[in-house]
Amino acid sequence: MQPPSLLCSAVIKGCLALSSHYNSNNCGLRLSAQALPLNMAALAGAWKPPPVAPTSLTVPQEVTLHSDARAEQRRAFDEAVATKQAEQETEQRQALALQAAAEEEELRQLRKGMVPKARPLPGRL
């Protein structure tokens, strides 16, 4: 068997030679990797992290999200808009009621003026 560097170079050269017939995905490069040993004796010289001194348990802090504050602001804004809209609707209803009362009074006055009344005859007859 060839060493990995020669094998790779041969495969790469083969891919370059066959590149007119195959795209780069069909190249078929064969690379090998060496696995780490599984026993602790083989890893004796490997780096180990420094020991961590035991500390007290971490107390979690309460999380305050910006979205919660924004939701509260939006709720207050929506309430203010709803209150303002209700006041406007109330004012509109009152204005319509006053307008309807004024029209009714005007109509009553017109009808009163249209009633035929007897007139005295002129004195020349």
39 found inside a domain: no
80 found inside a domain: yes
Which pLDDT does position 19 carry in this prediction?
Answer: 42
Quote the number of domains for the chain: 2
pLDDT tens readout for residues 79-94:
999 999 999 999 999 9
| Per-residue pLDDT at 12 exceeds 50 | no
110 found inside a domain: yes
Q: What's the rounded Cα separation, in Å, for the pair 81 and 75?
A: 10
Show the domain range for 74.
67-115
User: In what helix (H) or strand (E) does residue 90 lie, and over which residues does it extend?
Assistant: helix 66-114
| Per-residue pLDDT at 99 exceeds 50 | yes
| Structure confidence at residue 67 as a pLDDT band (50, 70, 90) | very high
Q: Which of 36-45, 94-103, 106-115 shows the lowest mean pLDDT across its residues?
A: 36-45
pLDDT tens readout for residues 33-63:
666 666 666 666 666 777 877 777 788 888 8
44 found inside a domain: no
59 found inside a domain: no
53 found inside a domain: no
122 found inside a domain: no
pTM exceeds cut of 0.75: no
The identity of residue 122, as a single letter, is P
CA distances from 21 to 7, 25, 29, 37, 66 (A): 21, 12, 16, 41, 58
Higher pLDDT, 73 or 15: 73
Q: What's the rounded Cα separation, in Å, for the pair 100 and 94?
A: 10
15 found inside a domain: yes
